[in-house]
Amino acid sequence: MSLINQMLKDLDARHESEARGRLHREVRALPAAPQTPLPAIAAGAVLLLVAGGGWLAFAHFADGRAQPAAVVVPPVPVAAPAPLAAAPLPPVAAVPATDAPAAVVADENSGLKLAAALDKPPAELPSKRPPPRPQADPAPPAAATRVPAPASTPAPAARETVTSKSAAPATPAVVDKTPPAKTPAERADTDYRRAVALAGGGRGGEAVDLLLDALRADGGHVASRQLLARLLVEQRRHDEAMAILAEGLAAQPGQVAWAMLLARLQADRGDFAAASRTLQGSLPYATGNADYQGFAGFVAHRLGRQKESAEFYQAAVRVAPGEGRWWFGLGLALEADQRSAEAREAFARARASGTLNADLTAIVDQKLR
């Protein structure tokens, strides 16, 4: 019996030795975990956050026209330290032999116990390595990455106006002392006034030049044309005077004084036909002008148109019955038209007017004898 027990103990010890050897072969020490450079990672994250915030601030202030938008930069992930591997198990201590009843087990039970022991996770054993440093809390990403929008954002148009006003350099206001440009009529008035002063000072030639300038500026300036015609007649420049008058009458036929002056110049040259045409052109505007009607009667008488001449003189004496010249002209026209009684009466009215000069009075007296 003791021999059997001794054999069982030997078998049990042998199985335990084999199991212990298999355990040593299966359990291997894990490689040491690489240490993570936590300070370098934290410094890199801070640099990235600072660079991102600086770029956003530069973009916001550089573009004054664009609407500032809140840019959210996701926080830079910080690499978590690799989990520390469990420390290798120490060599399993030899299990002391138990009492005889516990030692008497079958080989199968010993194998099952060993498998169950291997399936269990090893217990956490205290490690002699220093505990890892606590990670520094990263700065809150919202404070560094979000650019707060201004409380009141101006409208784009208003912001652009403010920007342009601030960008434009302030220039002092320049007062333009240049007088405003004169109209043609104003230039003609100025030249006319200067010409009047020159003509009054005996400088007729310079006055003529100024009046010509006035008419070039404003051809309808009546006073300039009339003064120019008179000065040209005084200077015996009749051709130029007639051209100035004819040009004015073509545009303004109602200027009867120009028509009378032009007709006199034409009659002085013996061109009574031209004088008659000139007077006929402005006749509708001279129905109440006795001088005009009387001069038209004289021109018609010189042309031999006595009946027409008598009509002009009759129109003149109706306007100015006290003017002896028109009665005298009417008597001559009626006499040439073989109307002697009417002619004698016209001569008598001329004599009674008392306005005839000595020469005309002598002729009338001779007609009345």
- Token pair, residue 334, equals 């009626």
Task: Look at residue 51 in the predicted model and tell me its pLDDT.
Answer: 74
Residue 337 · residue 306 · CB < 8 Å: yes
Task: Look at residue 59 in the predicted model and tell me its pLDDT.
Answer: 65
Has this prediction a pTM greater than 0.85?
no
Instruction: Give burial (CB, 10 Å; 0-12/13-18/19+) of 81.
Output: middle
- Of 3-17, 231-245, 290-304, the range with the lowest mean pLDDT is 3-17
Average pLDDT (246-251) is 96
Q: CATH topology for 185-271?
A: 1.25.40
Higher pLDDT, 218 or 60: 218
- Sort residue 130 into left (φ over 0), alpha (ψ -120 to 50) or beta: beta
Average pLDDT (243-255) is 96
Is the Cα torsion angle 57, 59, 63, 68 positive or negative in sign? Answer: negative
Common-topology check for domains 185-271 and 287-369: yes
| Res 316 pLDDT > 80 | yes
Average pLDDT (30-50) is 64
Q: What does residue 193 show for φ and ψ, rounded to 5 degrees?
A: -65, -40
Q: Give me the residue spans of the domains in the chain.
A: 185-271, 287-369
Alpha-carbon gap, residue 225 to 260, rounded angstroms: 14
| Res 123 pLDDT > 90 | no
Alpha-carbon gap, residue 115 to 251, rounded angstroms: 137
What CATH code is assigned to 287-369? 1.25.40.10
Residue 54 · residue 73 · CB < 8 Å: no
pLDDT digits (tens, 9 = 90+) for 164-180: 444 455 555 555 566 66
- Of 43-57, 181-195, 246-260, 323-337, the range with the lowest mean pLDDT is 43-57
